[in-house]
Structure 1
Amino acid sequence: MLGATTLTAGFLLAGLPTASADQVRDGQWANQYFNLEKVWSITKGEGVKVAVIDSGVDPNHPDLAGRVLPGYDPSGGGNEVGTSDPHGTGVASLIAGQGHGAGHADGVVGLAPGVKILPIYKMGTGDRDGIPEGIKWAVDNGAKVINISQGGPSTSAKETEAVAYAYEHDVLIVAATGNDGSSVGYPAADPGVLAVGAVSQDLKIWARSNFGQQVLLSAPGARIVSAGGCSGGQYCMGDGTSFAAPYVAATAALVRAKFPKLTAGQVAQRLVKSASQPAGAGKLPDERYGYGVVRPYEALTMDIPAGPAQGPLALPAGVKDGGSSPAASAGATAGGGSSADPGAGSGDPAAVPELKQSSSSTMPLILGGLGGVVVLLVVIIAIVVANGRRRNRAQAVPGQPGGPAPYGAQQGWPPAQQQGAPQYGQQPPPGYPPQPPTSYQNPYQGQ
């Protein structure tokens, strides 16, 4: 699974004789690509809550002090405050890390240090999958973006229902695609989720990034320095789509801070429209890069029409209309802004075309006598048939946007990485097994 142990193929810096604070910040090559000063001249994401469903987040890490809100553990064990497994802390630090020390110049800094993190543990009671419960709790507790750097080869009815719940409440779910170079895992593959692949420092796709038609964006995911207790230190370095997803989630939070009236789908629209297109890509979205590599500054400043409420997101199973929810409809009607209008914006509530019934003024009927009754009946039957065909077209085919879970039996997550946890009856596919996180020497030992 895309769990805390997917800090794969990492690199050690333990051999450096004099590790310094600068090495941590300088090691964050992605921040140089993002050009943080330009991004932060627009917003740091203040006022937005981002839920991190993962292994728990350490609220006492110096780079996350004051950024972590009370969270939720579906198992009731208090594991949302995680210190034993660094994965969740690392993911949170890429979103909301603020560094520490004089001028916050030391340690890890995230892309959106103004946001607050809602930490949610990934497992429920009895070691069952807690992510569906976590999604609903995040929605009910004010999250506007949910990051899930976890995954597996199948979905479940509870998961698809939870994704639909988030969509209908205008919350954007961002998820990692997977790390074994095969098809996109779940929940990234669930309709309604923004699936993210990983690129290396040359902005080429990372070799083990999972791919498929569900991929919408890619982001830095190789040689990523993050906060977390690796090998007794405070920092880790590793590869994986687990690290690409939080960069996209952070960008979404920045956009939600600047354009609060945009729907979740319209936020995704700004992200895909402003992404850097991959060299040599044909028709977009590309199955590896999606629409390209995320560009936060451009997402905040480009003149991009709000578009339909659904944006590029596939319609979740069970949701009948891309803009039917009260939150989505309100956002689409009010508009979400563009670089020309950084506030509310003019909006572009392009809706799904409705069947227009002719009025008596445009199609007069002679209602007198038997002939008129026959004509009226014919018109009524035609309208009923047209409406029925329209409803049939609206029911998506499995495997297509808006359809039911397309990849076979709906099952739970892979087994938890614990002994005596056979509850799901299947083993994770190659590429998902646990691997120990790589240590990044702590230059702040004892501080």
Structure 2
Amino acid sequence: MRRVTRWSRLGLAAVLAFAGMPVPAAAAAADCAPPARTVVPDLPWAQQWLRPQRIWPLTQGAGITVAVLDSGVDAQVRQLQGRVEPGLDVLAGGRADDDCLGHGTFVAGIVAAGSQPEVGFAGLAPQARILPLRVAVDDDQPPPETVLATAIGTAAQRGARVIVVGTPMVRAGAQLRAALEEAQARDALVVAASWGSTDREVPVDPWVGERILSVGGFDPEGGLVSGTAAPVDLMAPGAGVLSLGPRGSGHVVAGGNAYAAAYVAGAAALVRAHHPKLTAAQVKQRLLATSDRVPRQVPDPQLGHGALDLYAAVTAVLPAERGAAVPNVPVPPADIARPQPVDDRAFRVAVAVAAAAGGLTVLMAAVALAAPRIRRRRARAR
């Protein structure tokens, strides 16, 4: 994979960029994420890896709607203003363009946050539209199958070309199968996180796997994000990633496979905008065929086809797409020049130094973000 080469070039400065990442203030409301007030000017490591600025002269995702199935999306956040539709609160009715937990806003930021002066962070597809569908108000519990099925069906009916599931995917019963079939019939690509912790159900059903793009996350050192479970189709940045927080103009850092799925959803939006004649199945296969391949048989149970290569996904010429639909089977890797591997020992030393400098800050941020969940668990225990 190309990760060794790319991250070696980033060097110590990029890794240390978030050593001074601000810790969010204490939550203003007992059950809601704290307002994000601190603006981070640095370019996040995930953007340095994916380099979306090389793609933006070709496409920024205009004309593509990405449905975010999560906790809602705060439409008032500065970098999302004008990009978020009212959406639907599947749980309670009404709109979904606000967000208590902040999870959906974080996902939407990765997909479509606009550029701002003196701000390094931006979404992969800043001209895409976001359709929020609220399916969760508690990030400790997966949504019921009927809720998730309704959201997927609604997203497809409202014209979403990409659907990103930011909550645990339950095993497919009749309702979820029908919703995935409708999404497939309406040519919507469903991108979902791989979930592997013991308290979450994992979408291991092969029938489901054929109808979604399952994503796992990796960290700046190339390690897997905790909770990544087989089967995985594709890997993307999923640890120490920066995006938007709710009720403010600032940024927060978090990690998880849902955020890796958001990067793949943003990439899919760019591909669909630049190649409007491709079907959802073709977009999925293009993302897999152009990935940074793992040095073993693919798909690998843990690493899938490899890591997302954004530039290749948008620009590569794939012979299989000429004049015929791409079958839903693994496609040979595209003929794309790869840089030669280099010694990464200096980079690993830099990571160790950065971890010593910034590890405590990241831990404190994680504790601050987890505080509402801890309070809810204690309340239930009583």
TM-score of the superposed pair, with normalisation by structure 1: 0.60
Q: What is the deviation of 1:174?
A: 0.2
1:260 to 257, 276, 279: 276
Q: 1:240 to 1:233 in 2, by over 3 A?
A: same
Q: Distance in 2 between matches of 1:310 and 1:170?
A: 14
Structure 2 residue aligned with 1:95:
111
Q: 1:78 to 1:261 in 2, by over 3 A?
A: same
Q: 1:15 to 1:77 in 2, by over 3 A?
A: closer
Q: Distance in 2 between matches of 1:187 and 1:233?
A: 38
Q: Which has the higher contact order (CA 8 A, sep 6+)?
A: 2
Larger Rg: 1
Secondary structure in 1 matching 2:233: strand
| 1:273-328, Cα deviation, whole Å (9 max, x unpaired) | 110012x4x21011111101111111111111226444348xxxxxxxxxxxxxxx
Amino acid at match of 1:203: G
Q: What is the deviation of 1:155?
A: 2.9
> Is 1:130 aligned with 2:130?
no
> Is 1:185 aligned with 2:196?
no
Secondary structure in 2 matching 1:137: helix
TM-score of the superposed pair, with normalisation by structure 2: 0.70
Structure 2 residue aligned with 1:215:
232
Structure 2 residue aligned with 1:297:
311
Q: Distance in 2 between matches of 1:187 and 1:142?
A: 27
Q: What is the deviation of 1:435?
A: 8.2
Secondary structure in 2 matching 1:215: coil
Q: Distance in 2 between matches of 1:116 and 1:15?
A: 30
Structure 2 residue aligned with 1:58:
74
Q: Distance in 1 between matches of 2:168 and 2:96?
A: 18
> Is 1:108 aligned with 2:121?
yes
Q: What is the deviation of 1:154?
A: 2.8
Q: Which has the higher helix share?
A: 2
> Is 1:170 aligned with 2:184?
no
Secondary structure in 1 matching 2:213: strand
Structure 2 residue aligned with 1:120:
133
Structure 2 residue aligned with 1:29:
45
Q: Distance in 2 between matches of 1:23 and 1:234?
A: 4
The alignment of Structure 1 onto Structure 2 pairs a total of residues equal to 298
Secondary structure in 2 matching 1:291: coil
Q: What is the deviation of 1:76?
A: 3.7
Q: What is the deviation of 1:152?
A: 4.6
Q: Distance in 2 between matches of 1:11 and 1:134?
A: 38
Structure 1 residue aligned with 2:163:
146
Q: 1:36 to 1:68 in 2, by over 3 A?
A: same
Give the conservation status (yes or no) of the 8 Å contact 2:115–2:126. Answer: no
Give the conservation status (yes or no) of the 8 Å contact 1:223–1:237. Answer: yes
Identity of aligned residues (%): 32
Q: 1:11 to 1:59 in 2, by over 3 A?
A: farther
Give the conservation status (yes or no) of the 8 Å contact 1:209–1:288. Answer: no
> Is 1:13 aligned with 2:21?
yes
Q: 1:184 to 1:196 in 2, by over 3 A?
A: farther
Q: Gaps spanning 5+ residues in structure 1: where?
A: 1-9, 314-337, 340-433, 440-447
Amino acid at match of 1:109: A
Amino acid at match of 1:119: P
Secondary structure in 2 matching 1:108: coil
Q: Distance in 1 between matches of 2:155 and 2:205?
A: 17
Q: Distance in 2 between matches of 1:37 and 1:62?
A: 20
Q: Distance in 2 between matches of 1:237 and 1:188?
A: 32
